[in-house]
Amino acid sequence: MIRCIKCNMVHAISKSGKLRGKQRYYCKDCNIYFTIHDACKEDLPDNNHKRHIATIADIARALNVSKSTVSRALHEHSDINEQTRQAVLQMAKELDYQPNLLAKSLVQNKTNTIGIIVPEFLTYFFPTVIIGAQQIASAAGYNVIICQSQESYFTEVSNANVLIANRVDGVLISMSKETRNIDHYKRFERHGIPVVFFNRVCDEMNVPKVLVNDYNGAFKATEHLIKNGYKRIAHIGGPANLRLSHNRLNGYKDALKKYKLPILDELITSCDLSKQDAVKSAKYLLGLPEPPDAVFCVNDPTAIQLILTAKAKGIHIPEELGVVGFSNDPIAAIIEPALTTVEQPVAEMGRKAMQLLIDILKGDAGKGEPAYLSLSTKLILRKSSVKPAGIKIFSIKTAQ
């Protein structure tokens, strides 16, 4: 495809014989002749290598109509006849015309774009949340920009700056494990960009939040271990700056209190949610002079590392060690033994968070305190925590 060396267009180009063995071309719009050699010269002001994106003006020039006519035809105004509209649409297709959404957004002060910041894509959790969120966004006519902080505070700050620069209409955020300074979150507020937190939420900001009932899920998980005869139950928690870590720790502690089992500091440890730190925590607990006979873990990836570490030490699960995780990661069902876990409505979390944000953008959100949604969990029983028949179950009386 040959473009004019002056206007960089293709529609008005025709062959015009040869000059010294080289094909010569003529642009009727610019009234100039040129060869391929001319078009490739770097010192020409508008050479063939220059990137060009078709505009309304290009369509108007090609059809010899006004730019306003093209604009009205593209926007299906009633005062444009059908023949003209079809000619405009056909030429737009030939020139690969795409509307300038940035220019449109500057005029309307709206981009119909929503940003999502998540900590990682290594597990199934956040991609599944995004799938749910995008279903709602697409149905409402919004595009989505997805950013991953890689569990880094500095990357998260950079993500926030990019979304602000791209004039997103709103943002969904799940905090990184490193985030303690929230100035970059407050920048969204200063720019009038509404924020909804999910899963890993920021308590310092009075904005909508969507999470699961971590406390109740942890309580049920620990209670299950107690009722299956385990007496010395440990907990591997998550980063201290995350609310979910505190809620799951409190659920674990209150279950022990209910059944009058001791809460021992040596049996409570935490990890930064990385594989390496999970293994470190597992080795610490299993290396105690009196190791635990069961462990409730902050999430499934941590529980899976515990199982692998225990098996490497020759510890039998669930006979010698009961294990319960949290989240119902797909791997939990196929590891041996299969992992008992607390299931979260992951995709639903994404849908609820996105719907809250869109309601705010459309002015449909209720007045008063921002919404706070706590979604229910479900205990999924598998082999890792259920002692085989014949193993004596610890008998416990519920505290009155």
Alpha helices in the chain (DSSP H): 36-39, 56-63, 67-74, 82-94, 101-108, 125-139, 153-165, 183-190, 214-227, 243-258, 275-286, 300-312, 346-361
Residue that the structure tokens 């939420």 belong to? 201
CA distance 169 to 146: 14
pLDDT digits 0-9 by tens, 329-338: 999 999 999 9
- Domain 109-207+347-365: give its CATH code: 3.40.50.2300
Reply yes or no: is the peptide bond before residue 45 cis, omega within 30 of 0.
no
**Residues forming CATH 1.10.260.40 domain(s) in the chain:** 54-99
- Domain 214-340+381-385: give its CATH code: 3.40.50.2300
Residue that the structure tokens 């290598």 belong to? 49
Percent of the chain with pLDDT over 70: 82
Sequence-separated (6 or more) residues with CB below 8 Å from residue 327: 123, 125, 299, 300, 341, 342, 343, 344, 346
pLDDT digits 0-9 by tens, 165-216: 889 999 999 999 999 999 999 999 999 999 999 999 999 999 999 999 999 9
CA distance 101 to 94: 20
**Residues forming CATH 3.40.50.2300 domain(s) in the chain:** 109-207+347-365, 214-340+381-385
CA distance 244 to 137: 26
Flag the least confident range among 81-85, 236-240, 337-341, 362-366.
362-366
Alpha helices in 208-361 (DSSP H): 214-227, 243-258, 275-286, 300-312, 346-361
- Domain 54-99: give its CATH code: 1.10.260.40
Q: What is the DSSP letter of 93?
A: H
Q: At what angle do helices 125-139 and 346-361 cross, to 10 degrees?
A: 40
Give which of 214, 267, 269, 277 is closest to 236, Cα–Cα: 269
Sequence-separated (6 or more) residues with CB below 8 Å from residue 57: 67
- Entry pTM: 0.72
CA distance 84 to 65: 9
In this structure, the number of other CB atoms found within 10 A of the CB of residue 365 comes to 16
Which pLDDT band holds residue 58 (cuts at 50, 70, 90)?
A: confident
